[in-house]
Structure 1
Amino acid sequence: MKATIITIGDEILIGQIVDTNSAWMAQELNKIGVHVHEIISISDEREHILSAFAKAESQSDLVLITGGLGPTKDDITKTTICEYLNDELVLNQEVLEHVTRLFAKYVKDPMVDMNKAQAMVPSRAEIIKNDFGTAPGMWLENNKVIFVSMPGVPFEMKEIMSSGVLPRIMAVPDLPFIHHRTILTAGQGESTIATRIEEWESNLPLDIKLAYLPSLGTVRLRLSTTGKDKNAIEKAVDDQIVRLYQLIEDIIVGESNEESLVNQISRLFKEQNKTLATAESCTGGKIANLITEIPGASAFFRGSTVTYATESKVDILGIDPLLIEKHSVVSHEVAQAMAVAAKNKFKSDYAVATTGNAGPSKGDSDASVGTVFIGIATENESFAFKFMMGNHRERVIQKTVNKSFELLQKEILKKASN
């Protein structure tokens, strides 16, 4: 089965919002054996929408549409779907009752005709309930092609997809299996890794594809294949992964089919029943932010300080000002002291600290732009590492975040292996 994803909205095209819907839908479709042929974002214009529908129908079995279902006049998706499918809008009593209940429970203002218009849907549409909003999902078929229209609000779309769309697609007979395994590496760049595994890569079976997915400080190597026999394709990929480990085991830090490095670390801390704290300077709280985005992080994450200014390192963390004066605020000694202070302050088992000069100016230190120190405190010891992260501010910060997680993973894995 091939799919086209269409996101509708001028706000996407002018960069006012980022289209996260398409990425999530593509991931979920891939899991169930649906090949995404194309993803496009289009404006709220009738001709543009009609043209996109025609192209999608000509090349896909499934067309997923998000956006343009609001109650205002600029939301024209429903009327344009009706025009394309030669249909008409009719009042759906079930949707009207749902909208009425939502207004009675959550909205102080009375319903107006514009809100009631949410219950007007194409007559041929099968309604998919939206528990979190007023615009329903709609399932329509035309010339054996499935059209599914959903709200653009991400949490509404995800609920409709999860409960009403994906299970129905999975019921389609003879969907192929798509199998991925993704190896997460750290410490070497894409070209270096490619050189090390060149012969292995050249000898991969034709039906197994290798993709390099580089990020700042990490490279994912993803093996993918498709087939009708689930066990056979899994074994084929697993056999190749064994050979890959033999070649680059020294830089492999885990597997990451859907799990990011921070997710892996979170899982490890929970499994080991250990706790973590952070003290951030140059990373500005980004480490803590990524951790607390994970549901259940409170089971292991004790807290964080963002001691950006030199004075805050002294006043909040209690770093000795003489230490800073002697070694500089961007130094091995201060990073180590920050990690120890965070561990003690939050009574955690582990702590990570960052201090550095992300640029563009040098700030309170004479260290050159890109100089970063990462401190680690464990149950038994503390230490710090120096890194040169380049001269681009955003890259310096993100590379420091990634390297911090890499160092944490190494330490918690040491504990797991003991």
Structure 2
Amino acid sequence: MQAEIITIGDEILIGQIIDTNSAWIAQQLNAIGIHVKQVSSIADNPADITVALMLASGRADIVVITGGLGPTKDDVTKQTLSAYFDCGLHLDPEVLAHVESIFQRSNRPMLEKNRRQADVLDKSEVLFNQVGTAPGMWVEHQHKRYIIMPGVPFEMKHVMQERVLPRLRQLSGRTPLWHHTVLTGGLGESFLAEKIADIEAALPPHIRLAYLPKPGIVRLRLTATGDALETLKTETATISQKIKERIGDHFLADEDTTLEVLIRDLMKQQKLVLATAESCTGGNIARLITSLPGSSSMFEGGAVTYSNAMKMKLLSVKRDTLDTHGAVSEETVREMAARAQAYFNVDYAIAVSGIAGPDGGTPEKPVGLVWIAVAGKKSVIARKHVFGQDRAINIERSSIAALLMLWRLLTAELDERARP
């Protein structure tokens, strides 16, 4: 059984908002064995909506539509669907009572256009929206199912979870689908593909491998389809184990997660605390960690010491070190990491200094040169990196490289402690 997702709204096409609805809906459909064939974003334009519906109905069994159900003039979805399905609209009394209650609770006047929110397609079954004014609708037309939902994410999720998914789970023709993700780090996509080429070549036809790269990290997603979900889980777990054995310490996790989550969870479990001292990354490493819930139990704080003066004032980096070796050097980041570890009184500390660009480089120290150090329980390690010319990418790659160094030192020291 296949589905297509259509999101409607000019605001998506001009980049004013990001379409998170499609990704979330696709996850829900995949989880119950409905495969998403295509995702489309279209303008608030009747002709465009009509063409999208026609194309989707030729490709998919289920068409999921979000957006354009509001009360203003630019919301044209209901009127367009009325023409497409060749049916009228009628005022649903239950929906109208709900809309009126919302306005009464907030002590706001209700306009005629708000009243029109209760209009639903004659051919539809109402998917009641308890948390908003725009109802969802379920239409069966020419042997296809159309699911129409509001575009506001929390309203769409409510309708999907409470009204749509329970109904979809009752449909026959769904095929078990299983995704198994392997997180890897420190090995580029092409090198990773070369290392596991024979494993990939030996995959059975019902299992596919996808590479999902980002700077410093590659997720490998095994997608399996078949008749028995437990069999698919066993098969992909076996393949994942082969990949793990092949790539060694480039393997990070046997799940769809992130490096910063792994670090947070391990440090919380071991009751370890981290601090950062950042120059060229400007606090981005601290941002990655503190964006996670629960990070306060393992992250003490950080210092953004962008200038040499701040490196000396806040971290007591020696003037002689900076004068002799420069801010972007092994000696400087080692001092930054050790001082941060001591001043914040933590178990581990990360230090980064580099030339993010696009200017500031020299023949000896080009744009993209970054030194990273990590202070651990027993040692301070440092490593030189040379990235590219793009400032934003250099900051991202430096941040991930620093976290990867921390992860490796952390796991190595924990493994050593665990030995008898």
Could you say whether these structures have the same fold, taking a TM-score greater than 0.5 normalized by the shorter chain as the test?
A: yes
The 3-state SS of whatever aligns with 2:358 is: coil
1:170–1:351 Cα change, 3 Å = farther
Q: Give the corresponding residue for 1:395.
A: 393
Q: Which amino acid letter does the alignment assign opposite residue 380 of structure 2?
A: S
Q: Give the corresponding residue for 2:154.
A: 155
Query: What is the aligned residue count?
Result: 416
Equivalent position to 2:327, from 317, 326, 329:
329
Identical aligned residues as a percent: 43
Q: Which amino acid letter does the alignment assign opposite residue 59 of structure 2?
A: Q
Mapped contact 2:281–2:395 kept (Cα < 8 A):
yes
Q: Give the corresponding residue for 2:366.
A: 368
Equivalent position to 1:288, from 266, 286, 289:
286
Q: Shift of residue 410 of structure 1?
A: 1.7
Q: Give the corresponding residue for 1:263.
A: 261
Equivalent position to 1:349, from 347, 352, 356:
347
Q: Shift of residue 68 of structure 1?
A: 1.3
Please tell me whether residue 79 in structure 1 is matched to residue 116 in structure 2.
no
Mapped contact 2:377–2:413 kept (Cα < 8 A):
no
Q: Give the corresponding residue for 2:113.
A: 114
Mapped contact 1:310–1:364 kept (Cα < 8 A):
no
Q: Shift of residue 46 of structure 1?
A: 0.3
The 3-state SS of whatever aligns with 1:33 is: coil
RMSD: 2.8
Equivalent position to 1:407, from 398, 402, 405:
405
Q: Shift of residue 73 of structure 1?
A: 0.4
- Decide which moves more: 52-61 or 96-105: 96-105
Q: Give the corresponding residue for 2:166.
A: 167
Mapped contact 1:336–1:353 kept (Cα < 8 A):
yes
CA distance in 2, matches of 1:228, 1:94: 42
CA distance in 1, matches of 2:175, 2:331: 56
- Decide which moves more: 241-250 or 29-38: 241-250
Q: Give the corresponding residue for 2:91.
A: 91
1:111–1:57 Cα change, 3 Å = same
Q: Shift of residue 37 of structure 1?
A: 0.6
1:194–1:79 Cα change, 3 Å = same
CA distance in 1, matches of 2:376, 2:81: 59
Mapped contact 1:329–1:365 kept (Cα < 8 A):
no
1:323–1:177 Cα change, 3 Å = same
The 3-state SS of whatever aligns with 2:48 is: helix
CA distance in 1, matches of 2:175, 2:270: 38
Which 5+ residue runs of structure 1 have no aligned equivalent? Answer: none
Please tell me whether residue 65 in structure 1 is matched to residue 65 in structure 2.
yes
Q: Give the corresponding residue for 1:247.
A: 246
CA distance in 1, matches of 2:82, 2:283: 48
CA distance in 2, matches of 1:49, 1:203: 43
CA distance in 1, matches of 2:347, 2:336: 14
Q: Give the corresponding residue for 1:183.
A: 182
Q: Which amino acid letter does the alignment assign opposite residue 354 of structure 2?
A: G
Mapped contact 2:71–2:116 kept (Cα < 8 A):
yes
Q: Give the corresponding residue for 2:38.
A: 38
Q: Which amino acid letter does the alignment assign opposite residue 17 of structure 1?
A: I
CA distance in 2, matches of 1:337, 1:76: 62
Q: Shift of residue 55 of structure 1?
A: 1.6
CA distance in 2, matches of 1:322, 1:253: 39
Q: Give the corresponding residue for 1:278.
A: 276
Q: Which amino acid letter does the alignment assign opposite residue 398 of structure 1?
A: E
1:112–1:349 Cα change, 3 Å = farther
1:127–1:305 Cα change, 3 Å = farther
- Decide which moves more: 200-209 or 320-329: 320-329
- Trace 1:120-135 onto structure 2 (pairs within 5 A): 120-130=119-129, 132-135=131-134
Q: Which amino acid letter does the alignment assign opposite residue 269 of structure 1?
A: M
Q: Shift of residue 171 of structure 1?
A: 2.9
Deviations 1:193-240 (A, max 9, x none): 222222332222222212222221222222221011122222222232
Deviations 1:229-270 (A, max 9, x none): 1222222222323332332224212223x3122222222223
Deviations 1:106-143 (A, max 9, x none): x6754433333333332444444445543333333223
Q: Shift of residue 319 of structure 1?
A: 3.8
1:364–1:68 Cα change, 3 Å = farther
Q: Shift of residue 386 of structure 1?
A: 1.4
1:272–1:123 Cα change, 3 Å = farther
- Decide which moves more: 293-302 or 7-16: 293-302
The 3-state SS of whatever aligns with 2:412 is: helix
